[in-house]
Amino acid sequence: MSDLLQFVVAGLSSGAIYALVAMGFVAVFSVSGVINLAQGEFAAIAGLSALSFTDAGLPLPVAMLLALLVVAVVAVLMQRLAIAPVRRMTTLVSIILTLGVSTALKALLLLIYGPQGRGLAPLPGADLVIGGVSVRAQELWILGITAVVAVAVAVFYDRTVLGKALRACAEQPIAARLVGISPKAAATVAFAVAGLLGAVAGVLASPIQLTQWDSGLLLGLKGFVAATLGGLVSIRGAVLGGLVLGVLESLTAGYIDSGYRDAVAFVLLIVVLVARPGGVFGRHAEARV
């Protein structure tokens, strides 16, 4: 029993990271129909820049906040320079385009930071053992911060004017323009939100998983799968998708074979796309083209 709980705890903490990345996918896709394959790179940039800030002697919380800021700026720049100028953006074009941006960002990170991975210092706190289940302080931080961020994002979209405007762009783009919401401004805000979400994932995961130039690749793929589980347009779906994926991976590694761990996400992706293209947690199974 304690084994099962141990696997679930490990799965939830890696799942929370996937959930953060997945929310970033949803933030961008739901507003502009863009699938941003550089979402994982936001996490890598955050981890690496936080590392260089702590190297420069800044305290950990300051370094983490600065890293969030850096990534938000990178995300907005990416939207302005690479996404906004494209006249007729389709989802397919966006995939090719952002794949290019992702490759370029990875190359840049490799040039700046070199090939070796490093980990940020963990957030303060003592590791616990509860009923034979060991929980690291960093895992509690990850779960707590992810919960707070998820609620904040939900409140942002449901309650604030800006959030409602973004949702309006997603649901009724023409009507949204008619009432004076600029789709360009909306897309920029969406990218900033996505950048922040990816960056939070990056700085939280770094102490446990280490960060290197290509960390974003797998994180981005897993986050994309998690977002797809939720139908790519639902924040709640993305969070649930991330957690479910993390736990499934952990159970597969524990009870079947750790070699199949990374295969779980992709098997799941195929099953979902074939059986329920609208997402497992979506209310209606309808493909958004």
Partner 1 sequence: MFGSAKRLAVLLAAGALLAAGCAEEQPAPGAQGGEAETGPFKIGAVLDITGAGASLGVPERDTLTLLTEQLNAQGGIDGRQVEMIIEDNASTEDGAARAATKLITEDQVDILLGASRTGPSLAMRPIAESTPIPMISLAANAAIVNGSQWVFKTAQNDSVVIENIVRDAASKGYRTLALARDASGFGEGVRELFDEIGGPQGVSVVAVESFAPDATDFTAQMVNVRNANADAVVIWGIPPAAGLAQKAYVQLGVGKPVYQSHGIGNQVFLDTAAEAADGLVAPLGRLVVADQLPEDDPQKKVITDFVAAYRAEYDAAPSTFAGHAYDGFQLAVDALRNAGTEPDAIRQHLEGVDDFVGVSGTFTMSPDDHSGLTADDLVLVTVANKQFQLVQ
Nearer to partner 1, 173 or 254 (CB): 254
For partner 1, which residue of 100, 114, 124, 144 counts as binding (CB under 8 A)?
Answer: 114
CA distance linking residue 91 with residue 31, whole number of Å: 12
* CB of 197 closer than 8 Å to CB of 20: yes
The nearer residue to partner 1, 246 or 279, going by C-beta atoms, is: 246
Residue 129's beta-bridge partner residues?
134
In the complex, least distance from residue 56 CB atom to partner 1, rounded to whole angstroms: 18
Beta bridge partners of 133: 130
Q: Where are the alpha helices (DSSP H) in 114-260?
A: 137-159, 161-171, 173-178, 183-209, 215-229, 235-251
Does residue 281 come out as left (phi exceeding 0), alpha (psi in the -120 to 50 range) or beta? alpha
Nearer to partner 1, 35 or 205 (CB): 205
Cβ proximity to partner 1, 162 vs 210, nearer residue:
210
52 binds partner 1 (CB under 8 A): no
Contact (CB, 8 A) for 153 and 23:
yes
| Count of residues that bind partner 1 according to CB under 8 A | 30
236 interacts with partner 1 by CB under 8 A = no
Q: Which helix (H) or strand (E) holds 130?
A: strand 128-130
**Candidate list 258, 267, 273, 283; residue touching partner 1; CB under 8 A:** 258
Among the listed residues 119, 173, 183, 277, the single contact to partner 1 using CB under 8 A: 119
Binding status of residue 286 toward partner 1 by CB under 8 A:
no
d(CA 148, CA 213): 28
Q: Does 53 bind partner 1 (CB under 8 A)?
A: no
In the beta sheet, which residues pair with residue 77?
none
- Chain positions contacting partner 1, by CB under 8 A: 3, 6-7, 9-10, 14, 110, 114-119, 127, 129, 134, 136, 208-210, 212-214, 250, 253-254, 258-259, 261-262
